[in-house]
């Protein structure tokens, strides 16, 4: 993570975070492919215990299904979208949608904390929520 001061503000503006939309259940493969290409990648995951008839297994599941976050390297975006499993770069109004450093930092802090972070089981995409306490 970046330190405080003017350097971090300038660096954050020059190398923004952006997101890739991936095929379903291909987030880890995409992240590994991007890392192999030299990209800085953030794939927040949480652990979940799955039960089968004969065993239990703890697996890591992406906190944001079908999304992988990339830091900087926008000039190499063609290399990113040609990674197997990538559908598209998230955009808004024809421009690549960037994610503020403070939002990525908040997610990193929450998953590295002592509490278990996982998606809410009853929320749907587009539902309004109010965060009343915690890191977010």
What is the dihedral angle through the alpha carbons of 68, 74, 77, 83, rounded to the nearest 10 degrees?
-30
- Give residue-wise pLDDT tens across range 4-43: 333 334 444 468 999 999 999 999 999 999 999 999 999 9
Structural domain contains residue 69: yes
What domain count does the chain have?
A: 1
**HSE-CB for 61 with a 13 A CA cutoff:** 14
Q: Are 48 and 29 spatial neighbours (Cβ–Cβ below 8 Å)?
A: no
Question: Can you tell me the distance from the alpha carbon of 44 to that of 47, in angstroms, rounded to the nearest whole number?
Answer: 11
**10 belongs to a structural domain:** no
Query: pTM for the whole thing?
Result: 0.79
In whole angstroms, how far apart are CA 49 and each of 57, 58, 115, 122?
A: 6, 4, 16, 19
Domain hosting 59: range is 16-112
129 part of a folded domain = no
As a whole number, mean pLDDT of residues 94-103 equals 92
Please report, for the domain that includes residue 25, its CATH number: 3.30.70.940
**Is 79 domain-assigned?**
yes
> Would 22 be classed as within a structural domain?
yes
Q: Looking at the domain assignment, is residue 98 inside a domain?
A: yes
**Is residue 71 assigned to a domain?**
yes
């Amino acid at each position: 993570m970046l330190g405080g001061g003017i350097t971090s503000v300038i660096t954050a503006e020059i190398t923004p975070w952006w997101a890739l939309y991936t095929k379903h259940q291909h987030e880890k493969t995409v992240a590994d492919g991007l890392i192999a290409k030299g990209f800085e990648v953030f794939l927040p995951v949480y652990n979940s215990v799955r039960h089968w008839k004969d065993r239990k297994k703890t697996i890591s599941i992406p906190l944001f299904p079908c999304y992988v976050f990339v830091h900087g390297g926008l000039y190499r975006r063609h290399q990113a979208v040609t990674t197997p499993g990538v559908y598209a770069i998230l955009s808004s109004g024809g421009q690549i949608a960037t994610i503020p450093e403070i939002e990525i930092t908040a997610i990193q802090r929450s998953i590295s904390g002592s509490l278990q972070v996982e998606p809410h089981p009853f929320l749907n995409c587009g539902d309004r929520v109010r965060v009343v306490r915690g890191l977010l």
